[in-house]
Chains A and B, each alone.
Chain A
Amino acid sequence: MNKYTEDDLREELKTKEYEYGFYTDIESDTFPNGLNEDIVRAISGKKNEPEWMTEWRLEAFKVWKEMIEPEWANVNYQKPDFQAISYYSAPNSKPKYDSLDEVDPELLATFEKLGISLDEQKKLAGVAMDVVVDSVSVATTFKETLAEKGIIFMSISEAIQEHPELVKKYIGTVVPQKDNFYAALNSAVFSDGSFCYIPKGVRCPMELSTYFRINQAGTGQFERTLVIADEGSYVSYLEGCTAPSRDENQLHAAVVELIALEDAEIKYSTVQNWFPGDAEGKGGVFNFVTKRGLCEKNAKISWTQVETGSAVTWKYPSCVLKGDNSIGEFYSIAVTNNYQQADTGTKMIHLGKNTKSTIISKGISAGKSQNSYRGLVQISSRAENARNFSQCDSLLMGNECGAHTFPYIEAKNKSAQIEHEATTSKIGEDQIFYCNQRGIDTEKAIALIVNGFSKEVLNKLPMEFAVEAQKLLEISLEGSVG
């Protein structure tokens, strides 16, 4: 019988090509490889940064020099040579554009291939985006609409020029320069990123959105994002990533800091689709990201992530629940295929009274990949009545992949209530046959099962993102698993 067997499935897994593997030829302004104080100064100089910013970077660089790369994650890779990376690359057509017509047509073509053409995005009502190509923000839309409400949404470079008091006050307060190896590196050399400030009591009327992508060969990308929600405000922030295919590994070490002041709420959603490497495990992005949010009294931060890309992922979007009654949430889908490795999860640090956190993690492993959930729930001694609920589910495809769960719990207050649930399942032949019998082919059946498995997290994404994420899940596993 001409049937789809597990061998076919494995074969297809190997041949899955990266959808967005193309390279755009744009003249770039690229720094020589290597990192030293001069490079740090040069990056800062290139951006006409004020003295305090330059000093801040240099402090970070000093700390970084003394640090060693962490090795505790459940991943194996050839460590990058940090002196072989160029730390700054900006598209040459530098000054910001007033309209799309002025943008390099090749760049626009790239966006179109990615299916995120600005044209289209502009039409998508309610989505303002700040597009980051390599390192410099090239276009910002909807700025005026936002300005009417007093919302500031711009590149962090601009913010350093235009709102230095805000940047100075908050940068590094949640993720200090010396927090970890990659955060220190980012602090020293961050090229650009997004800045967002929502004034007191303002509900941001639209989803704020940023697309990142790495373009120039051999350049690391060091994004820095700072979101501040002032008292009683609300914002939903979307971040999406795609990167073109490359043979050598590319480094991505971003830092995201969220600050939710009293009664504020921040929803931060990510779809990450960096190049995962080819079927032999060659190439792919190293994604070493530090994301953390701080909640003041009654504040709430939700992290939602759909992670399908990167060769190696090291990422733990976390919440520091400092204020009483504050809430932290983490919803995650991590898909690994071929030789991808992901070590991802969250930290919920309960400091205030009556703080609550929820963790829902869905890991899907296929091919020869390794997928780890690593999470910490920490209840401090003064956090009376803290509550946490964690659920970690793993779905395995085939017999060569791995799923791992590393939950850490530290409770120093007796009133804490902590629940942890974990399941591991495999897509069964019986499930597939059941779907087949109803007229659903194997590929579609797997998409259906995977979407069902991920539903609790997909539901947390804003509408337009959920559709995209669902597609991305199918693409990541399609051909892969059927």
Chain B
Amino acid sequence: MLKIKDLHASVEDKAILRGINLEVKPGEVHAIMGPNGSGKSTLASVVAGKEEYEVEQGEIILNGENIDELAAEERAHKGVFLSFQYPVEIPGVSVTNFMKTAINESRKAQGLDDMPANEMLKMIREKAELLEIDRKFLSRSLNEGFSGGEKKRNEIFQMAMLEPKLAILDETDSGLDIDALRIVANGVNKLKSEDNAVIVITHYQRLLDYIVPDYVHVLYEGRIVKSGTKELAHELEEKGYDWIKEEANA
């Protein structure tokens, strides 16, 4: 699904990623953890194609294709989805209208006609039900006046609508109370399949109680310094990151 080889990236000449190697196979869930400033969100942005980040070295390969040179929207068309840590507001554009535009743009890129309105409505209804979303919510302006929980739930709703191959959840648990966390995690679990993969970026172990990872990686100073199974997450929860830092600096 995703292969990242020796990825180096910088922003405004400041090196942030310094040689990331990662392979994610279909059906897998990977968690990326690490202390603040280790490069977790940068990794998500670079894979999604945010233009401020300069890829200096290495490759990002999605389903056998090098996507380094592709624009963000082209990567999206190929099935990359990023659930944002801080989703932006777009006043006057309803969630429904936004999704309709996004889906039809992706279809256009694949040479398909717009999705017929009735099909779109049906899909919206199904996905809203799946994620326990009140449909009134969908006619509100995108993220405008949304609570933290609503924003994150809206991200997962979009993920459900776009049916990505690779979903990267950037700190989806931040700002969520335990109930919201459970709803969001359940949503992700329902969307998981043998054909897609999920990368969960998080500080804390608690999200991983709900979205259980196959692998856990620890990012520190722009490198993956340790990989393991979900037990590693528990260990981090218990012992913090200091021992990781010591090991890495040794």
Contacts and interface: CB of A to CB of B under 8 A. Distances in A.
Interface in A430-446: 430-431, 433-442, 444
A455 to B, nearest CB: 4
Interface in A251-297: none
Contact of B90 (A2, A449, A454, A456): A449
Interface residues of B, number: 34
Interface in B46-97: 48-52, 55, 68-69, 71-73, 76-77, 80-82, 84, 87-88, 90-93, 97
A439 B106 contact: yes
A440 B105 CA distance: 6
B92 A437 contact: no
Contacts of A1: 49, 51, 55, 68-69, 71
A440 B101 contact: yes
B77 A439 contact: yes
Interface in B5-60: 48-52, 55
B186 interface: no
Interface in B154-169: 158, 162
> DSSP class of A's interface residues: helix, strand, loop or mixed?
helix
Contacts of A436: 49, 71-73, 76
B101 A448 contact: yes
A441 B90 contact: no
B130 interface: no
Given A1-B55, A449-B93, A456-B92, A440 B71 contact: no
Nearest to B92: A452
B121 interface: no
Interface in A18-54: none
A385 interface: no
A429 B109 CA distance: 23
A394 to B, nearest CB: 13
Nearest to B143: A434
Contact of B102 (A5, A439, A442): A439
A438 B161 CA distance: 11
Contacts of A123: none
B92 A451 contact: yes
Contacts of B97: 448
A1 B84 CA distance: 22
A441 B93 contact: no
Given A1-B55, A430-B88, A439 B76 contact: yes
Contacts of A431: 88, 90
Contact of A5 (B51, B82, B90): B51
Nearest to A450: B92
Given A5-B51, A452-B93, A434 B87 contact: yes
A448 B158 CA distance: 17
A363 to B, nearest CB: 15
Contacts of B80: 437
B141 interface: yes
A453 interface: yes
A79 interface: no
B72 A437 contact: yes
A452 B90 contact: yes
Contacts of B82: 437
A1 B109 CA distance: 19
A455 B49 CA distance: 30
A429 B52 CA distance: 10
Contact of B92 (A2, A3, A455): A455
A454 B92 CA distance: 8
Contacts of B81: 437
A176 interface: no
B158 A451 contact: no
Contacts of A441: 71, 73, 105
Contacts of B106: 439
10 contacts: A1-B69, A428-B88, A430-B88, A434-B84, A435-B90, A437-B82, A438-B162, A439-B77, A444-B105, A453-B92
Given A3-B71, A435-B90, A437-B84, 14 more contacts: A4-B51, A428-B88, A433-B72, A434-B87, A436-B71, A437-B72, A438-B76, A438-B162, A439-B106, A440-B73, A442-B73, A444-B101, A444-B105, A449-B90
